[in-house]
Structure 1
């Protein structure tokens, strides 16, 4: 398939050439309109232009999504700073930390905090380059030997993509310090998958139910566009 830009130029040139041959009045035979042979050609060109426009729009959406994803770590940290009065020191665990973008942004904002990460995928190799990390675990959370408890546990991966999310939230709640906060920053889900079909109200209700079932107290729920942000505290004394 030609490059979209070149393809568009070629079609535009063809359209100009054909439009000159079809500018005359339509022919009628026996009081019935006779279709010009050029009309079907022009119809095909218009159809191809429509398909090309949809293709280019899809490319634009994907590019915008990539740019938006690159901003996610900074957006999540800003939201966390807005919702919680963060002291100069503390401990934080990032669940399914990816390449460490969120942790890097948080470290820049609060360099006095001790930061840890758990990442079960290949992105863990990029986490190892983050010299500021106190600890990093390359394992499924069910197999991770984490005995520490944290002031904040951050989750920026959609829980809808986590197997048995209630089990995951329960595991996280057990690793919160007394009055520690579970910070859920849940980006928009891909269209047509899981809870994305039901909209924000159902997603919010689902996240709230997960936290309460895990024994946490939900303090704050906010939305920004399709992003849901929830803070839940561990109020039990252990």
Structure 2
């Protein structure tokens, strides 16, 4: 059994064949999926998909590249996090690659999500791009360790990974790790402790080799897992069992691995 620990199955990209996508995921051994929201307007549909489908879980948050005026209130975040099968805060974080100017509002948004994580005990899903130092600094200053979480779609170096691990965070690898030019990331992937590793698709983005260039979907997390098992010298069964257990420990500890 595998878990796609991060995707966006609620996106319109999947509107016409969502049921078929779920069937293909199950056929590939992907029995659980976490859908991460990126804007507040999508929270309800993410919650609905989780409520209506066994093995689907939801997260509520606002992506760092959404405009400043999209920042949710603490009250709205806490209300969304109280919904059934909403197991995480996010995705959130810092992204200086696509946003310009004074980005203190991004930092304030990230801090609010961390505060919601600590208030609810639900882990935070962290997106970081071109903002490594500030991401770690804010995680430390806001005590993100208290709520826990994961660095999703990880692409940073070993020093960043080690700092996140030291704060009790998990590391999730996407299809990027399968790309031929991702040698530095592959070197980090070999070092990651098995009990802190997750796998994801980030679908519809970043389809792994050999599906690169296609619309990504949860079934393709199998390709990520197969690549990582070979890279790390582990069996696919072992990697699947451990990443599933890690997912349950982080997000839904009442569900057996």
TM-score normalised by length of structure 2 = 0.34
Task: Tell me which structure has the larger Cα radius of gyration.
Answer: 1
Compare the two structures and name the one with the higher strand fraction: 1
